[in-house]
Amino acid sequence: MKKPELLAPAGNLEKLKIAIIYGADAVFIGGKKFSLRARASNFEIKDIKEACDFAHKYNRKIYVTTNILPHNDNIDGLVDYLKELEKVGVDAIICASPVIIETAKEHTDLEVHISTQTSLTNYESVNFWYEEGVKRVVLARELDKEEIKELRENTKCDLEVFIHGGMCVSYSGRCTLSNNMTDRDANRGGCAHSCRWNYDLYDGEEKLNDDMAFSMSSKDLQTVKHISDLIDIGVDSLKIEGRMKSIHYIATVVSTYRRLIDSICEEHEIDLPKYLMEIKKAENRLTSHGFMEGMTTINEQLYNMRSEIPTQEFIGLVRDFDEENFIATIEQRNYFVPGDEVEVFSPNIEPLKFKVEEIKDEEDKVLDAARHPKQILKIFIPFKVSKYDMIRKIKP
């Protein structure tokens, strides 16, 4: 059984390193130019080089999004930028516009992947790009499993499928709500997520939403139950969305799918409820299977529903561990106090629980609570932990 690539998002270098440490085979990032998340990206060329160096040390890959739909005034500097990406060691670029694709082919040897923004939903279109020298296509999110299977059977191109994260309510992300409402171009990196705003809904003069505000976005995608089928179909890459998400979200989601994929490919017995419970520890929005089971229904939409509270709270990141005294140096992320029941979440071990006893600061002063995000603290942990392990509060 061929094991697919697990592809994770990262909005900065810390998130990228977490994604790789927690099991991603590849990470996609956006630079300051030509990316749909350009405004939010922290990746200058020097950062992209550091990302590539770090990933390649672990034998992992880095893909850079160059997926805007450019207007004439967006083309300046494209050749130089693509050459810079090639020079620093980027493994592939993700494109939506033929001008960027053809420019990359003409001026570099960069591997080209076609973005989901291109809305590829049939094998004739996939084969067109394959014959143009494209290595991989990211399929439209509107395909169900049977359509993906038929497509797989009729193309030699590598196929990438979204398995987790935010779902755009428009067709493959090609939305202009943001353009019209905020003068921010969603297809040139400026989406304001207008579909997630709260609205009043009217039928003529009659207001229909007296009880609560109306929104029109879809639930986030979650496909734990469908991974085995996607592996059987022969999908080459399974993609997580969420470059703006926290390190805890990335670690939890990547680690869960990593272990699930490995267990399936090694033909172990799969305890789906365990994976479903684990993935929920990172969720802050309602989820659904998206289009995996066919056309979506009202059950896959949010409409007048907003979000749910995560089942567990990320309170600290392990920075160091004294194996002689079992004292962990941690970077605090959320409030906690002595007596809290917590668990350590790690890429190396199954989650282990313990009770916080005493909290000290860097000068060994005893604290009655951890109140300040990013403060360096020391706590006793009754078992060995490692750098980049995370501590989560267990909620009753």
Q: What are the sequence ranges of the domains in the chain?
A: 5-190+219-294, 312-394
Inform me whether the pLDDT recorded for 65 exceeds 60: yes
Instruction: Show the tokens assigned to 284.
Output: 């802050």
Determine the Cα–Cα distance for residues 41 and 338; give it in Å rounded to an integer.
37
Superfamily of domain 312-394: Translation factors (2.40.30.10)
**pLDDT at residue 370, rounded to an integer:** 96
| Percentage of residues of the chain with pLDDT beyond 90 | 68
- How does residue 117 score in pLDDT terms, banded at 50, 70 and 90? confident
pTM here is 0.91
Output Rg (C-alpha) for the chain, integer angstroms.
Answer: 22
Higher pLDDT, 190 or 80: 80
Task: Measure the N-to-C terminal CA separation of the chain; round to a whole number of Å.
Answer: 40
**pLDDT at residue 48, rounded to an integer:** 96
Average pLDDT over residues 181-206: 80
Inform me whether the pLDDT recorded for 164 exceeds 90: yes
Superfamily of domain 5-190+219-294: Aldolase class I (3.20.20.70)
Inform me whether the pLDDT recorded for 309 exceeds 70: no
Mean pLDDT value across the chain:
91
- How does residue 37 score in pLDDT terms, banded at 50, 70 and 90? low
Residue 368 neighbours by CB under 8 Å, 6+ apart: 337, 338, 359
Average pLDDT over residues 196-200: 84
DSSP 297: -
Q: Count CA within 13 A, CB hemisphere, residue 262.
A: 10
DSSP 224: G
Among the ranges given (16-25, 222-231, 306-315), the one the predictor scored with the smallest mean pLDDT: 306-315
Inform me whether the pLDDT recorded for 308 exceeds 60: no
**pLDDT at residue 305, rounded to an integer:** 60
Inform me whether the pLDDT recorded for 190 exceeds 80: no
Inform me whether the pLDDT recorded for 272 exceeds 90: yes
- How does residue 310 score in pLDDT terms, banded at 50, 70 and 90? low
- How does residue 306 score in pLDDT terms, banded at 50, 70 and 90? low
* pLDDT tens figures, 330-385: 999 999 999 999 999 999 888 999 999 999 999 999 999 999 999 999 999 999 99
**pLDDT at residue 17, rounded to an integer:** 97
Closest by Cα among 69, 2, 59 to 27: 59
